[in-house]
Amino acid sequence: MHSEQHGTVHPNSSPWPLLYRTIVALAIGITVGLTVRAAGNYFQGTQPRPTLSPNDRSRFLTIWAFGDYGRFWIDDLTERPGWKTIDKIYRPDTKHYYSSKPPLFPVLLAFEYRFIKLLTGNAWSFDEQPAAVVRTLVLTANALPYAIFLVLLLRFLRDQFGDGWITFVTLLVAALATPLTCFNITLNNHTVAAYFVFFALYAFWPLFTGRPIPWLRAFAGGLCAGFSAACELPATGFVVLLGFWLLFCNRKHLLLAYLPAVALVAAAFFYTNYLVTGDFKPAYLHKDWYDYEGSYWNNPRGIDNIHPPAYVYLFHLTFGHHGVFSLTPVFLYTVLGWIVALGRPGLWRNLSVLTILLTLAVYTVYIAPGPLGEIAPVRRNFGGMTNGFRWSFWLIPLWILFLPHGLQRAGLSRAATTVALVLIAVSAASVFYGMRNPWSRPWIQELLFRYGYIGY
């Protein structure tokens, strides 16, 4: 363990471990509390929706259809009060509507839903207690991996950077000052992908430092990497680059553990996708299936019907109303951390190159014109009505790992720590502003909209 921050102290006399545990407990408690009380807007006058947006509702409809009826089409369910969604497709060959979301993740949750019904004697179901079912599924999908993420991240930080202010601040940011905290209260693919990216990297980290790991850990790491890509398709780049790294570290684990595990997840992904679409292409690639009578995507409105030029879009994704540096300026230390790590040959330089390449690739994909940018029914819409650029959220754990390097380079003077705390405060404010509903405008966009500077 390094002692770069405050020197070595006897563990029994150090306040840092208790402070770390306090942060983790506080973050988990906040997440559970806000998840339990979360509710969408009202319908039929007085009843709040159990879901928060058409986006999470689309996934819950698959869970409902498969969990209760063993099917994937959702025609009749979308007609139930409070369950309409714009995130659906229509297959002309089957004459049925389906969720447009990749089905593997919802299918796994559907099995949990069946178990919940079994435990409660069918008292908790989408028909009888939809809010209880929704909140339970969100807790297991988000709060559980979030808690594991914080515990493992703390172990990682203490191993790499020792005890002290740097580790404390990095953990604090990870717990309470990134969009992942905000999106923990709603069902989505971005938080899950982010946590499993970290789990995969954590599984192989000893190997990258020259320490052996058992086959089972390597296989688990491959499952985590594969599942991150199954939840967030651009994370396939992470799977490829991590495999490339393993090629030079341990080819045995690459061939006998990592690749078989990734292949297993890929098989499940494509099989469940086949059950929905009738082929192996995700629903997103069937553009014509979004074209049906009454489809929102035939006449999108607001943020879904804007066409900003690439340079304007890039500005808003970095320093504008959806900007990673305007909403969460603490990640400026990540950029500084990249610069520091690039100057240090070895493990951290390799990880910085991987992270920078993935970051540039994600932003390029969603900014690029033409077919490369046509990943959704619309493009350059900032991910729709959402508190931040959600398509980049899966990168956040990788960004967090470079905060210590940036914070160390900035120094521990009173001025430096004051600046860091101000940036953390702004980041946390952006996150907790979105706790009212993550599927809403970030505060900067809300201000611009209310004062007439933008029309979305």
> Mind listing the pLDDT tens digit for each residue in 75-127?
999 999 889 999 999 999 999 999 999 999 999 999 999 999 999 999 999 99
The pLDDT of residue 380? 86
Q: Cα(409)–Cα(434) distance, rounded to whole angstroms?
A: 31
Instruction: Tell me how long the chain is.
Output: 456
Q: Cα(82)–Cα(49) distance, rounded to whole angstroms?
A: 6
User: Do 283 and 89 contact (CB within 8 A), yes or no?
Assistant: yes
Structure token pair of residue 254: 């690459």
Q: Cα(312)–Cα(409) distance, rounded to whole angstroms?
A: 31
Structure token pair of residue 70: 């063993």
The pLDDT of residue 371? 45
Q: Cα(254)–Cα(243) distance, rounded to whole angstroms?
A: 7
User: Do 16 and 23 contact (CB within 8 A), yes or no?
Assistant: no
Which residues lie closer than 8 Å to 292 by C-beta, 6 or more apart?
Answer: 89, 90, 97
Structure token pair of residue 159: 């191993």
Of 204, 190, 230, 244, the closest CA to residue 396 belongs to 190
User: Do 152 and 405 contact (CB within 8 A), yes or no?
Assistant: no
State CA 186 to chain mean position distance: 11
Structure token pair of residue 26: 């506080």
Instruction: Give the CA radius of gyration of the chain.
Output: 22
State CA 262 to chain mean position distance: 19
Residue recorded with tokens 């007439």: 452
User: Do 8 and 169 contact (CB within 8 A), yes or no?
Assistant: no
Q: At residue 452, what are phi and psi to the nearest 5 degrees?
A: 80, 15
Residue ranges in the chain modelled with pLDDT below 50: 1-4, 6-9, 11, 371-378
The pLDDT of residue 256? 97
The pLDDT of residue 45? 56
User: Do 296 and 257 contact (CB within 8 A), yes or no?
Assistant: no
Q: Cα(432)–Cα(176) distance, rounded to whole angstroms?
A: 8
3-state SS, one letter per residue, for the chain: CCCCCCCCCCCCCCCHHHHHHHHHHHHHHHHHHHHHHCCCCEECCCEECCCCCHHHHHHHHHHHHHHHHCCCCCCCHHHCCCCCCCCEEEECCCCEEEECCCCHHHHHHHHHHHHHHHHHCCCCCCCCCHHHHHHHHHHHHHHHHHHHHHHHHHHHHHHHHCCCHHHHHHHHHHHHCCHHHHHCCCCCHHHHHHHHHHHHHHHHHHHHCCCCCCHHHHHHHHHHHHHHHHHCHHHHHHHHHHHHHHHHHCHHHHHHHHHHHHHHHHHHHHHHHHHHHCCCCCHHHCHHHHCCCCCHHHCCCHHHHCCCCHHHHHHHHHCCCCCHHHHCHHHHHHHHHHHHHHCCCCHHHHHHHHHHHHHHHHHHHHHCCHHHHCCCCCCCCCCCCCCCCHHHHHHHHHHHCCHHHHHHHHCCCHHHHHHHHHHHHHHHHHHHHHHHCCCCCCHHHHHHHHCCCCCC
Whole-model pTM: value is: 0.94
Q: Cα(253)–Cα(204) distance, rounded to whole angstroms?
A: 10
The pLDDT of residue 46? 62
Of 405, 290, 285, 271, the closest CA to residue 338 belongs to 405
CB atoms within 10 A of CB 435: 18
Q: Cα(403)–Cα(380) distance, rounded to whole angstroms?
A: 29
